[in-house]
A and B are shown apart, each in its own frame.
Chain A
Amino acid sequence: MNEIVAFISENLTTMYILVLAVYLGMEVISKVPTVLHTPLMSGANAISGVVIVGAIILIRSAEPGDLFVLILGFLGVMLATINIVGGFAVTDRMMGMFKKKKKPEQA
């Protein structure tokens, strides 16, 4: 129990950030037209690939001979990269289609 209390007091700032980030995430999204739900989901999904940062730290702090960590880290980096690169690329492709539509109307 003491450890938990200690953890809370050490990480109070983090908890503030957590709460505010939850609220911000809900606010930022709340006024989206249905048209954009699919691209938005795909874009947000790419952002969740930020987990790659953890995988990179993990590989960098591993001993060079620690194959267990290196291999799991490598898999993590690779899968998260697919998530990120694929996610952003596919979102851009979708948005490109919408854009093509709007131009002639504005001209």
Chain B
Amino acid sequence: MSTEIIEFIYLICIILFIAGLKRLSRPDTARSGNLLAALGMGLAIAVTLVYPVESSSNNYAWIAAGMALGSVIGLVVAKKVKMTAMPEMVSLFNGLGGACAMFISLVEFNNYPAGTSLLNGQIFAALFALFIGSVSFTGSLIAYGKLQGFLRDSLVIPFPKVVNLLLLLGFFGLSGWFLMQPGIDFSIVLILLAVSLVYGITFVTPIGGGDMPVVISLLNAFTGIGAAAAGLIYGNQVMIVGGILVGASGTILTVMMCNAMNRSLFNVIIGGFSSSGAASGDGREAVVKEATLSDTAILLKYSEKVIFVPGYGLALAQAQHACNELAKLLEAEGVEVKFAIHPVAGRMPGHMNVLLAEADVSYDNLLELEAANKEFPTTDVVVVIGANDVINPAANEDPSSPIFGMPILEVERARNVIVMKRSMSPGYAGIENQLFFGEKTKMLFGDAKKSLKNLVDEVPES
């Protein structure tokens, strides 16, 4: 096939990507959007396989082996992964894409003809792809580890800001020196690779687990930019445009997530939550009232309106199904049941919606932040399940609190608040929550799933 026809088919692929992304952003067309984008990807791969290249040895066996192995692994993982583990899954997939960009640029340096000046766009693009791809790769792995729980937040890098700055300066300084050389010195490429890989680790490690969604989204954008940079090496339009589309949309998504938490991206990356600003009790008598199961069951059964506020604790306890069971039971008793979803509930914006959808919770019963805040004053009982920072009144009241200004679900406006929690430990942000000591609040301690199941048994008997 001639190059022109293939370039034209690449254009069709790009149109499919754009249409796919557009449709992905509306609930009723999202699934078809995903299929369109997948179709575009299939087409792009297919024509690349017949793209005229100089060498006649196509090495198709290597490509077939890689694609076969990758497809099997990808399909199995996609089928097996639990919905609660979705953020870490995206993070892992994303890291692999970054690794691919990294490999491409390594080969590009290796193949670069000797005796040609290094000061040209191809080498710039390759350096960029090497850096971004590597950072995205190790950064995503760290994010994955943090979300999976085998990397703890207590793992500290001494003087992270200094270390990161030094690594960045080191990379750029060495890159500059590298470009001044008469030819490619592959050992410098390897040092640059090592610096980038280490930077990915030191960049993500100091950021708290609670901020991982933002980081994953950012790394997702990185991988897109890495793909575009790799595309610049070959002058390949579908890689350039596809990568940039992901880079731009990923950046926007990252900013939206930061807005939902009322923090700037800079603050997330550089600052992290400092525990020094944590709100201490302001002299009020801090007494926690504990609720019993039967109290809670009666309270719920004889309410007119109940709103559930699910948080990551619900996901951790795999309690979304038990929660829906309780909701159905209460509805059968004539109680109006709704779910209030904070934009950053779960570990990723929209993550909670996916979890509740998995548990068959009706789409209509989900309230977004503003709608929920309007309904709380007329609500009899709010049941908070494993959420903490998103309902912390300090965000409205205490300017010294690190989360001050973040929009929260104002559950304290409801008549009663039941908080299901494992213990009194503070939330991900490590901030004390005055809501738990409030007059209307009662705590139901224990595993969320167990408590919900017990309530399902208890309610009919009340």
Contacts and interface: CB of A to CB of B under 8 A. Distances in A.
Interface stretch (B75-83, B295-303, B447-455): B75-83
Contact of A45 (B22, B101, B220, B230): B220
Interface in A63-104: 63-64, 68-70, 72-102
Interface stretch (B37-45, B162-170, B200-208, B412-420): B37-45
B45 A53 contact: yes
B350 A35 contact: yes
Contacts of A92: 31, 34-35
B210 interface: no
A14 B232 contact: yes
Contacts of B86: 38, 42, 90, 94
Size bracket of the B interface: 35 or more
Contacts of A24: 18, 245, 248
Contact of A22 (B62, B227, B248): B248
Nearest to B249: A29
B230 A41 contact: no
Contacts of A93: 78-79
A58 B109 CA distance: 12
Contacts of A80: 70, 96-97, 100
Interface residues of A, number: 88
B182 interface: no
B119 interface: yes
Given A47-B20, A94-B354, A101 B363 contact: yes
Contact of A37 (B117, B251, B257): B257
A54 B237 CA distance: 11
Contacts of A18: 228, 240, 244
Given A14-B240, A59-B63, A75-B99, A42 B48 contact: no
B81 A90 contact: yes
B292 interface: no
Given A34-B350, A35-B27, A69-B111, A41 B97 contact: no
A43 B37 contact: yes
A1 to B, nearest CB: 8
Contacts of B22: 28
B246 A101 contact: no
Given A21-B248, A28-B245, A48-B94, A53 B349 contact: no
Interface string B307-328: 0000000000000000000000
Nearest to B106: A72
B386 interface: no
B220 A17 contact: no
Contacts of A43: 20-21, 24, 33-34, 37
A62 B59 contact: yes
Given A41-B216, A48-B94, A83-B93, 19 more contacts: A24-B245, A25-B249, A34-B349, A36-B25, A37-B256, A37-B350, A40-B21, A41-B217, A44-B253, A56-B49, A60-B53, A78-B66, A82-B77, A82-B93, A83-B74, A88-B37, A90-B90, A94-B83, A95-B30
Interface of A: 1, 3-4, 6-8, 11, 14, 17-18, 21-26, 28-64, 68-70, 72-102, 105
25 contacts: A4-B120, A17-B240, A21-B241, A22-B244, A28-B249, A34-B260, A35-B350, A38-B350, A48-B94, A53-B45, A55-B104, A60-B51, A60-B59, A61-B53, A75-B100, A82-B96, A85-B71, A86-B77, A88-B41, A89-B79, A94-B354, A98-B27, A101-B363, A102-B27, A105-B363
Interface of B: 17-18, 20-22, 24-28, 30-31, 33-35, 37-38, 41, 44-45, 48-49, 51, 53-55, 57-60, 62-63, 65-67, 69-71, 73-75, 77-79, 81, 83, 86-87, 89-90, 93-94, 96-97, 99-101, 103-104, 106-107, 110-111, 117, 119-121, 216-217, 220, 223-224, 226-228, 230-253, 256-257, 260, 341, 343, 348-351, 353-354, 357-358, 360-364, 366, 368
Q: What 10 pairs across the A-B complex have the smallest Cβ distances?
A: A81-B70, A25-B248, A77-B66, A85-B74, A86-B74, A89-B78, A37-B350, A7-B121, A37-B349, A50-B242
